[in-house]
């Protein structure tokens, strides 16, 4: 019988960076008095963690009306700058029955799973991904409305270019680490090659990817939205899509930290 076990597990999953066990948006997580009622605009979860050498820590996260869509994080009673602080305290991964069809389902599901793996090693990854997603949503909204100020679009595309490259660089770094173990095999199971198929991953393999400065290629594609715009990064993309996306022997990838901090 249902006893809200899943709700409890989902609440605990928000004590890590990202969108929790179900991948739900902040606005969907609040309490619903009835199945069809709108969710409460406020919610929160808190816990006291035993962290070995560091000792105990009191952590909490949630949403308040005044903060809008921004997720609030507090550690030991003090506000944290973002979700990355949670990942720095306690890396967490989970496997659920929903993930059984991970490699048969949509590519977006695999990207989300890969991002959770990255978050465990790089707590700042969730913040970069969130910044990219916000800029992408804002850009598409402006394009749909029409008449947007070019400087505003340029600023959003600058964020997308920097954060998008950083997200892909972090994913590629993790797969490099996994590939070393996966290639060795285990007992009767053969080794496998793990790689990231992505335009930006190919650019990173050949040269500093920020030289491309493109907002039209990113860590995930937009859903059914207009992408045409004759801005500098859009024109750059048209000129650059003919580049190969394979990594030559001995080449080095740019790191996520380098990618997110270098200007476009």
Whose CA is closest to 17, among 88, 102, 67? 88
Whose CA is closest to 129, among 93, 95, 160? 160
Q: What count of other Cβ atoms lies within 10 Å of the Cβ of residue 243? A: 12
Confidence class for position 228, pLDDT limits 50, 70, 90: very low
257 Cβ contact list (under 8 Å, min separation 6) = 124, 166
Q: How many angstroms separate the CA atoms of 44 and 66, rounded?
A: 14
**In the structure encoding, which two tokens stand for residue 241, read together?**
């899509």
| Sign, Cα dihedral of 124, 128, 134, 135 | positive
Strand pairing class (78-79; 56-63): unpaired
Residue with tokens 């793990």: 194
Q: Using CB atoms within 10 A of its CB, is residue 222 exposed (0-12), middle (13-18) or buried (19+)?
A: middle
Query: Which pLDDT belongs to residue 2?
Result: 57
pLDDT above 80: residue 258: no
pLDDT above 80: residue 10: yes
pLDDT tens for 76-109 read 989 988 888 888 888 888 888 878 888 888 888 8
* Mean pLDDT of the region 116-142: 88
- CA-CA distances (angstroms) from residue 70 to 42, 62, 66, 95, 225? 11, 9, 9, 27, 24
């Amino acid at each position: 019988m249902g006893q809200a076990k899943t709700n409890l597990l989902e609440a605990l999953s928000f004590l890590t960076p990202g969108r929790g066990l179900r991948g739900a948006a902040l606005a969907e997580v609040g309490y619903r008095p009835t199945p069809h009622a709108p969710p409460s605009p406020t919610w929160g979860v808190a816990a006291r963690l035993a962290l070995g050498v560091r000792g105990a820590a009191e952590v909490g996260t949630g949403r308040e009306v005044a903060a809008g869509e921004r997720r609030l994080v507090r550690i030991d009673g003090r506000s944290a700058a973002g979700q990355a602080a949670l990942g720095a305290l306690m890396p967490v991964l989970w496997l659920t029955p929903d993930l059984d069809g991970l490699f048969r389902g949509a590519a977006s599901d695999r990207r989300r799973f890969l991002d959770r793996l990255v978050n465990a090693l790089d707590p700042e990854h969730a913040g970069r991904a969130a910044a990219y997603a916000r800029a992408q949503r804002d850009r598409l909204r402006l394009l749909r409305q029409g008449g947007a100020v070019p400087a505003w679009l340029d600023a959003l595309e600058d964020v997308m270019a920097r954060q998008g490259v950083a997200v892909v660089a972090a994913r590629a770094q993790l797969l490099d680490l996994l590939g070393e173990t996966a290639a060795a095999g285990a007992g009767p199971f053969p080794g496998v090659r793990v790689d990231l198929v992505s335009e930006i991953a190919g650019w990173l393999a050949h040269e500093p990817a920020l030289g491309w400065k493109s907002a039209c290629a990113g860590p995930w594609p937009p859903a059914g939205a207009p992408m045409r715009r004759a801005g500098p990064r859009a024109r750059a993309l048209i000129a650059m899509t003919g580049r190969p996306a394979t990594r030559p022997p001995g080449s080095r990838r740019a790191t996520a930290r380098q990618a997110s901090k270098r200007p476009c």
